[in-house]
């Protein structure tokens, strides 16, 4: 197995392999992330998914795309990006798991992954999983780069190319799971929530950032049409909380800003 998991001191992939449900006999880490998908044929991708897999979006995602689009969706009262990251670290209670193992689902270019790693004080491990090879290329580049974008906490970071709807990890292996900006893109978000539940240890925390359907019915209908065209699903204000409750999560918390919602919960 080669280097370049972005972590540094040891090879973080060696810590990832035991977390997988079916570790490959010959792990492909040629691109700096562990590739569990290989060549993929996705003829029915939505516009949003195609963008995520393009070579262009990862280049502007963190500096332009995310601040502008998420800013519009969150509205003027929403938290800025640093406040979002602080919320994730707080809701996942990273301070209580300094050597813990954390999963970042739909990690994109690794922006949240690195923010989580920076919040860990011990020799933890943060694993970012995403389906897009172009996003992961960027994540690897930005993570090995020195600050401001490199991981500057004590935790190691590793990236895995895998499907969020079929998380490639074993049962109850993560102390915390984050999924910001992903659920609304997935073909089957509830399969992803099932997966998050499965891979979390009992008592482990999960945090999500996703869309929220406007309450006005006319706008709500418009957002559904737009959703079908673009591939961005709008969730009802209670959908995710109910789904988590139904899967045995407790200590639910939710903050809504404009067309977005943050939801946190503890696995029972
Ligand atoms: C908007 S980015 C989110 C990046 C980061 N988490 C954030 O909050 O800024 C969404 C990511 O979801 C990934 N994605 C979409 N569908 C996926 C799937 N089925 N499995 C894994 N990743 C997926 C895309 O490739 C993209 O990188």
Token pair belonging to 263: 């939801």
CB neighbour list of residue 56: distance below 8 Å, 6 or more residues apart: none
Q: Is residue 92 part of a domain?
A: yes
Q: Measure the CA–CA gap between 216 and 146, rounded to whole angstroms.
A: 46
Count CA atoms closer than 13 A to 230's CA, side-chain side.
Answer: 14
Q: Are 103 and 180 in contact (CB under 8 A)?
A: no
Determine which of 41-55, 103-117, 214-228 has the lowest per-residue pLDDT on average: 214-228
Is the pLDDT confidence value at 151 over 60?
A: no
Residues 22-36 have a mean pLDDT of 96
What average pLDDT does this structure show over 97-120?
Answer: 96
Q: What is the DSSP string of 63-104?
A: IIIIIIIIHHHH-TTS--HHHHHHHHHHHTTGGG-TT-EEEE
Angle between helices 239-246 and 189-199 (to 10 degrees): 40
Say what the pLDDT of residue 152 is: 53
Is residue 4 assigned to a domain? no
> Is it true that the peptide bond before 231 is cis, omega within 30 degrees of 0?
no
Reported as a pLDDT band with limits 50, 70 and 90, residue 9 is very low
Is 30 within a domain?
Answer: yes
3 pLDDT exceeds 50? no
| 124 vs 65: CA distance, rounded Å | 30
**How many structural domains are present in the chain?**
1
- Is residue 217 within 8 Å of residue 240, measured between CB atoms? no
Q: Which phi and psi (to 5°) does residue 183 adopt?
A: -50, -40
Assess if residue 7 is contained within a domain. no
pLDDT score, position 46: 84
CB count in 10 Å sphere of residue 43: 4
DSSP symbols for 154-180? SSEEEEEE--GGG--B-TT-EEEEEEE
Query: Does residue 253 lie in a domain region?
Result: yes
Instruction: Give, using CA atoms, the residue closest to atom 24 of ligand 1.
Output: 52
Which among 35, 108, 189 is the best mutation to test ligand 1's pocket, defined by most ligand atoms within 8 Å of the CB? 108
Q: What count of other Cβ atoms lies within 10 Å of the Cβ of residue 185?
A: 22
Residue 140 lies in a domain: yes
From the CB of residue 53, how many other CB atoms can be counted at a distance below 10 Å?
17
Q: Assign residue 201 the CATH number of its domain.
A: 3.40.50.150
Confirm or reject: Cβ of 157 under 6 Å from ligand 1.
no
* Nearest alpha carbon, ligand 1 atom 2: 108
Sequence-ordered strand ranges (E) for the chain: 34-35, 101-105, 125-130, 156-161, 174-180, 200-211, 249-257, 260-267
The residue contributing the CA closest to ligand 1 atom 14 is 106
The residues pairing with 159 across neighbouring beta strands, listed in sequence order, are 128
193 touches ligand 1 (CB under 6 Å) = no
192 falls within a domain = yes
Q: Is 37 in the pocket of ligand 1 (CB under 6 A)?
A: no
Residue 5 lies in a domain: no
Give pLDDT, residue 255: 98
Give yes or no for residue 147 having a pLDDT over 70. Answer: no
Per the structure, the complete domain to which residue 99 belongs is given by 12-38+45-267
Is 180's C-beta closer than 6 angstroms to any atom of ligand 1? yes
Q: Is the pLDDT of residue 18 over 60?
A: yes
pLDDT in tens, 31-76: 999 999 988 766 667 888 888 888 889 999 999 999 999 999 999 9
């Amino acid at each position: 197995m080669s280097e370049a998991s972005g972590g540094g001191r040891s090879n973080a992939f060696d810590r990832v392999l035991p977390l997988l449900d079916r570790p490959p006999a010959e792990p492909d880490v040629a691109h700096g992330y562990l590739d569990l998908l290989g060549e993929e044929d996705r003829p029915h991708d939505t516009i949003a998914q195609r963008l995520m897999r393009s070579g262009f979006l990862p280049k502007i995602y963190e500096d332009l795309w995310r601040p502008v689009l998420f800013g519009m969706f969150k509205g003027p009262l929403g938290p800025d990006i640093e406040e979002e990251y602080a919320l994730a670290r707080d809701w996942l209670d990273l301070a209580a798991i300094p050597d813990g193992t954390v999963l970042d689902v739909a990690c994109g270019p690794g922006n949240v992954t690195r923010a989580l790693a920076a919040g860990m004080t011990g020799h933890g491990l943060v694993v970012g999983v995403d389906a897009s090879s172009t996003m992961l290329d960027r994540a690897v580049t930005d993570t090995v780069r020195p600050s401001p974008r490199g991981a500057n906490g004590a935790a190691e970071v590793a990236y895995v190319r895998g499907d969020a709807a079929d998380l490639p990890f074993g049962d109850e292996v993560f102390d915390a799971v984050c999924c910001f900006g992903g659920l609304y893109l997935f073909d089957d978000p509830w399969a992803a929530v099932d997966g998050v539940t499965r891979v979390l240890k009992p008592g482990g925390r999960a945090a999500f950032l996703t869309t929220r359907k406007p309450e006005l019915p006319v706008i709500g209908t418009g957002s559904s049409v737009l959703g079908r065209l673009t591939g961005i699903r709008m969730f009802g204000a209670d959908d995710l909380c109910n789904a988590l409750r139904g899967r045995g999560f407790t200590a639910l918390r939710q903050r809504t800003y404009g067309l977005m919602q943050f939801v946190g919960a503890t696995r029972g």
